[in-house]
């Protein structure tokens, strides 16, 4: 299994609105992609910003390529992200999952 991570920040006041937007615009596309095994979104408020970290789990690099395109390290954006994001990663990080809780990760399919 592979974990794909992406980080972005909004203004703290936009944190809830951006998360609601993600739930409608981006997360279903990730969750419904072939080979996706689950998505986590975590957030922290720091220095007047809402920092988001999106962690998605994938069965293979081929599945990530089908979702992300020919460069699996390139971030995939939603149409209105620019209206929310103050800073964001244009690339993602990919990690091999070496260990996980027995029975799999919570929320992973």
Q: What is the mean pLDDT of the chain?
A: 92
Burial tier of 90 (Cβ tally within 10 Å: 0-12, 13-18, 19+): exposed
| Prediction pTM value | 0.89
- pLDDT over 70 percentage in the chain: 94
Phi-psi region of 47 (alpha: psi -120 to 50; beta: other; left: phi over 0): left
Q: Which domains does the chain have, with CATH numbers?
A: 2-96 (3.30.70.100)
For the stretch 29-49, pLDDT in tens is 999 999 999 999 999 999 999
- Smallest CA-to-CA distance from 39 within 102, 88, 92 is with 92
Residue 66's pLDDT band, with cuts at 50, 70 and 90, is: very high
Q: Which residues share a beta bridge with 101?
A: none
């Amino acid at each position: 299994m592979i974990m794909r991570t992406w980080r972005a920040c909004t203004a703290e006041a936009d944190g809830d609105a951006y998360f609601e937007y993600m739930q409608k615009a981006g997360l279903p596309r990730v969750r419904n992609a072939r080979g996706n095994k689950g998505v986590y979104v975590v957030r922290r408020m720091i220095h007047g910003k809402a920092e988001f970290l999106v962690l998605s789990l994938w069965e293979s690099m081929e599945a990530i390529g089908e979702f992300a395109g020919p460069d699996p390290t390139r971030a995939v954006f939603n149409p209105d992200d620019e209206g929310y994001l103050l800073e964001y990663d244009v690339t993602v990080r990919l990690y091999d999952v070496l260990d996980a809780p027995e029975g799999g990760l919570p929320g992973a399919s």
